[in-house]
């Protein structure tokens, strides 16, 4: 791997590690990064590039597992030396499973059509711009409406299954580039009455099976016949994404304990306008 290409892969890992957990669209940022700083291997093999952008998320998932291990690991050692199950953590995983149902159906039935509609030609850039702006406005609006409201749900242990299913439905919006999986689920949870902390935590936990499943589907579709360079790129990207995600998640949880998501809304709007101007300049006026 050439040094410049190595630097680009490291930067992609940094972008993934930061934007996967902030409600600002990781896929949108990585696609935009590739628009301005294309990776040579992606140009030579676009299928590998599409797969890489999804599979690199496995590194980010590992950061969630490590940080929240005590909250999500459902097994425990019994007094007799056997293995028992934490009831509350097991129930949490059943809620996560329920929330995964909508995106599982959408992914299995519509993946090819979604890729064909949203990820072809210059339509992708415009979609990212509009999604960034729209959901940025939504975040600002919801935070303003909830400013004086007390959340109806602030504990994952008492969260109803129906709420988990509805949040899972909101997650399906993330198939649109520029939306943000974490942004869609956090926004949906807050609209439905969740506190910021609970919305963020459930989003992190929901990412584990969702992103792992999406990565597996991409790997099965692409195959495992990687070249040495491709293995190096995947491993490098995942390691960087893991390290950056580990610190980003901790900082985000500290931030939202005292602040709202409105700042992310303004960021989305600003970035969306920049992308829109770029789209007009490159495509509409070409």
- What's the pLDDT band for 148 if we cut at 50, 70, 90? confident
Residue 69 to residue 204: CA distance in whole angstroms:
12
Q: What is the pLDDT of residues 100-127, one digit of tens each?
A: 999 989 877 877 777 777 766 677 888 8
Q: What is the pLDDT of residues 72-86, one digit of tens each?
A: 998 887 777 778 889
Give residue 285's pLDDT: 67
Q: What is the pLDDT of residues 44-53, one digit of tens each?
A: 888 898 889 8
Percent of the chain residues topping a pLDDT of 90: 60
Quick one: CA torsion of 203, 205, 206, 207, rounded to 10 degrees? 90
pTM for this entry: 0.90
- What's the pLDDT band for 27 if we cut at 50, 70, 90? confident
Residues 6+ apart with CB under 8 A from 227: none
Helix axes 181-191, 161-171, angle to 10 degrees: 140
Q: Which two tokens stand for residue 100?
A: 């995964």
Give residue 121's pLDDT: 64
């Amino acid at each position: 791997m050439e040094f410049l290409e190595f630097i680009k892969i490291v930067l992609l890992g940094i972008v993934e590690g930061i934007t996967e957990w902030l409600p600002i669209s990781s896929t949108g940022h990585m696609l935009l990064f590739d628009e301005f700083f294309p990776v040579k291997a992606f140009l030579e093999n676009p299928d590998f590039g599409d797969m890489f952008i999804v599979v690199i998320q496995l590194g980010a998932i590992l950061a969630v597992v490590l940080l929240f291990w005590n909250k999500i690991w459902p097994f425990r050692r019994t007094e007799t030396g056997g293995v028992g199950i934490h009831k509350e953590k097991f129930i949490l995983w059943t809620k996560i499973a329920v929330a995964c149902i909508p995106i599982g159906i959408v992914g299995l039935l519509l993946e090819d059509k979604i890729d064909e509609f949203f990820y072809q030609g210059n339509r992708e850039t415009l979609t990212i711009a509009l999604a960034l702006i729209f959901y940025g406005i939504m975040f600002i609006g919801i935070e303003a409406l909830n400013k004086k409201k007390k959340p109806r749900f602030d504990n994952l242990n008492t969260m109803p299954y129906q709420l988990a299913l509805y949040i899972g439905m909101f997650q399906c919006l993330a198939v649109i580039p520029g939306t943000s999986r974490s942004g869609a689920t956090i926004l949906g949870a807050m609209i439905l009455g969740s506190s910021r902390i609970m919305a963020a935590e459930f989003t992190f936990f929901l990412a584990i099976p969702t992103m792992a499943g999406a990565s597996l589907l991409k790997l099965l579709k692409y195959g495992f016949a990687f070249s040495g360079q491709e293995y190096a790129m995947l491993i490098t990207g995942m390691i960087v994404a893991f390290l950056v995600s580990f610190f980003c998640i901790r900082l985000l949880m500290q931030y939202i304990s005292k602040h709202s998501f409105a700042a992310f809304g303004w960021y989305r709007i600003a970035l969306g306008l920049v992308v829109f101007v770029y789209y007009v300049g490159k495509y509409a006026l070409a």
